[in-house]
Amino acid sequence: MTLLKLLIVDDHPVFRQGLRDVFETDPQIQVIGEAANGKDALTLAQELHPDVVMMDINLPTISGLQVTRAITTQISGVRVVMITGYDEPEYIFHSLRAGASAFCSKDMPPESLICTVLTVYAGNYVINDQILTEEEVHEWIRRRMDRFGKRPSEDGSGSSVSLSPREMEILELICQGTSNKEIAKRLGISYQTVKNHVTAILHKLGVSDRTQAVLYALKRGWCTLESTS
């Protein structure tokens, strides 16, 4: 019997181990690797060619959305299941736009996680426990494009947010998955200065972490998922 090859990506070692324990109970699934950050996830996916990647959306170095886009465009046949604590339609929308085949909450029962992985391996998609075809997913995205996909010039979103040119520059680098240390080196400023800017950006956007800042920027068309550097 051919086993489904699974790669697990999450920055919390205890949660990664929990996922491994869950999937190793199913004789159809073989866990072939683990990664704790986006950069390692992309490297392992290129080396191991898994069938399915269980991907956390909030990762160090490169965001889960960025890695998902890179994997699904660069490696043929790999399916990505996004798993996160952010169970909101906007996160589902951007995950699917990035190339994910399913979106799971971290409080999902173990048997449902296994079922989801097997379902996407078979070529289907899973949204809110509903199994969809590729055509149905495209229609799901299309119906929500006006709500989540407009640029600022189309709906005026974010008009009350005023980021400085430097903050916009840093936000764009955050959207590319660049770490604070890498941003500091690229811009020729101190690490602490970058941290201060990031704190100010999060405060102005009204979000609590980098992943939410990326999603905020994506929703308003301020950045794209094209770059993974």
CATH 1.10.10.10 in the chain, residues? 152-219
* The two three-digit tokens of residue 144, written as one number: 């929500």
User: What's the whole-model pTM score?
Assistant: 0.72
∠ CA(226), CA(84), CA(131), 5° rounding?
85
Instruction: Please give the average pLDDT of every successive group of 10 residues along the chain, which has 229 residues.
Output: 92 95 96 94 96 91 85 93 82 88 93 96 93 92 73 39 81 87 93 94 90 83 57
The whole-number pLDDT of residue 62 equals: 80
Name the CATH code of domain 4-148 (choices 1.10.3720.10, 3.40.50.2300, 3.40.50.720, 1.20.1440.230): 3.40.50.2300
Question: Please, are residues 177 and 62 in contact by the beta-carbon 8 Å criterion?
Answer: yes
The whole-number pLDDT of residue 149 equals: 58
CATH 3.40.50.2300 in the chain, residues? 4-148
Helix, strand or coil for residue 195?
Answer: helix
The whole-number pLDDT of residue 85 equals: 80
The whole-number pLDDT of residue 145 equals: 77
Name the CATH code of domain 152-219 (choices 1.10.3720.10, 3.40.50.720, 1.20.120.450, 1.10.10.10): 1.10.10.10
